[in-house]
A and B are shown apart, each in its own frame.
Chain A
Amino acid sequence: MSQAVAPRFPPPEFTETSHVLPVPTAPGVPAVWFQYLDVAVLIAALVFVSWLLLRRRSRAGVVATGIFSILYFGFWKKGCICSIGSIQNIAQALSDSSFGVPLTVLFFGFTPLIFALFFGRVFCAAVCPHGALQDLVLLKPIKVPAWLDHSLRMLAWIYLGLAVVFAVTGGGFIICQYDPFVPLFRLSGSLTMVLLGVSLLVVGIFVGRPYCRFLCPYGVLLGLASSVSKWRVRITPDTCTQCRLCEESCPFGAIEKSTVEAPVRPQATDQRRLLLLLVLLPILIATGAGLGGMAGGALARKHRVVNLAERLQLENTGVVPDTTDASATFRAGTRSLESLDAEARALRHRYTVAARWCGAWIGLVVGLKLLSLAILRKRPDYEANQSRCLGCARCYRYCPQELQRLGLPVPAPPATAVE
Chain B
Amino acid sequence: MNRRHFLSGGLRGSLLLALGSVLGAVTGRAKARTTVWQIDPWQCTACGRCATECVLELSAVKCVHSFDMCGYCQLCTGYFEPDPNRLNTAAENQLCPTGALQRSFIEEPYYEYTINEPLCVGCAKCVKGCTMFGNGSLHLQIRQDRCLNCNECAIARACPADAIHRVSALQPYQFKSRERKT
Question: Hey, which bits of chain A sit against chain B, CB under 8 A?
Answer: 1-5, 7-12, 14-17, 19, 21-30, 32, 35, 78, 80-81, 85-86, 88-90, 93-94, 97, 99-106, 110, 113-114, 117-118, 172-173, 176-177, 182-183, 186-189, 224-225, 228-230, 304, 324-326, 328-329
Contacts and interface: CB of A to CB of B under 8 A. Distances in A.
A34 to B, nearest CB: 10
A114 B19 contact: yes
Nearest to B36: A29
Contacts of B141: 24
Contacts of A9: 71, 73, 134-135
Contact of A100 (B11, B30, B173): B30
A32 to B, nearest CB: 6
B125 interface: no
B30 to A, nearest CB: 5
B43 to A, nearest CB: 8
A102 B107 contact: no
A110 B19 contact: yes
Contact of B34 (A23, A27, A29, A229): A29
Interface of B: 8-9, 11-12, 15-16, 19, 22-23, 25-27, 29-36, 45, 47, 55-57, 64-73, 106-108, 110, 112, 114, 117, 133-136, 141, 143-146, 148-152, 157, 160-162, 169, 172-173, 175, 178-182
Contact of A329 (B19, B25, B161, B172): B161
Given A24-B64, A188-B57, A325-B47, 8 more contacts: A3-B179, A4-B180, A19-B107, A29-B36, A30-B144, A106-B26, A110-B19, A304-B157
A85 B149 CA distance: 14
A230 B6 CA distance: 11
Contact of A3 (B133, B157, B169, B180): B180
Nearest to B71: A9
A29 B141 CA distance: 13
A9 B111 CA distance: 13
A100 B35 contact: yes
Closest 3 CB pairs of A and B: A9-B71, A325-B160, A27-B145
Contacts of A81: 151
A12 B71 contact: yes
6 contacts: A16-B107, A19-B110, A97-B29, A102-B30, A177-B157, A187-B57
Q: Which of A29, A110, A326 has the most CB of B within 10 A?
A: A29
B40 to A, nearest CB: 13
Contacts of A10: 71
A230 B29 CA distance: 31
B19 A102 contact: no
Given A1-B182, A12-B106, A172-B157, A101 B68 contact: no
A11 B68 contact: yes
A127 B151 CA distance: 19
A187 B57 CA distance: 8
Contact of B135 (A7, A15, A19, A103): A7
A101 B26 contact: yes
A78 B133 CA distance: 40
A25 B69 CA distance: 15
A5 B179 contact: yes
Nearest to A187: B57
A30 B169 CA distance: 9
B172 A176 contact: no
Contact of A228 (B15, B36, B114, B181): B15
A101 B29 contact: yes
B181 A1 contact: yes
Contact of A99 (B29, B34, B117): B29
B166 to A, nearest CB: 9
A78 B22 contact: no
A24 B135 contact: no
A13 to B, nearest CB: 9
A94 B18 CA distance: 14
Contacts of A15: 107
A230 B32 CA distance: 32
Contacts of A11: 68-72
Contact of A102 (B31, B45, B143, B148): B31
Contacts of B117: 25
Nearest to A8: B135
Given A17-B106, A94-B26, A325-B45, A8 B71 contact: yes
A83 to B, nearest CB: 11
B23 A110 contact: yes
A4 B29 contact: no
B19 A113 contact: yes
A29 B144 contact: yes
B23 A4 contact: no
Given A326-B160, A329-B160, A329-B161, A14 B19 contact: no
A388 to B, nearest CB: 16
A5 B118 CA distance: 30
A176 B71 contact: no
Given A9-B134, A24-B65, A225-B15, A32 B182 contact: no
A102 B67 contact: no
A3 B70 CA distance: 18
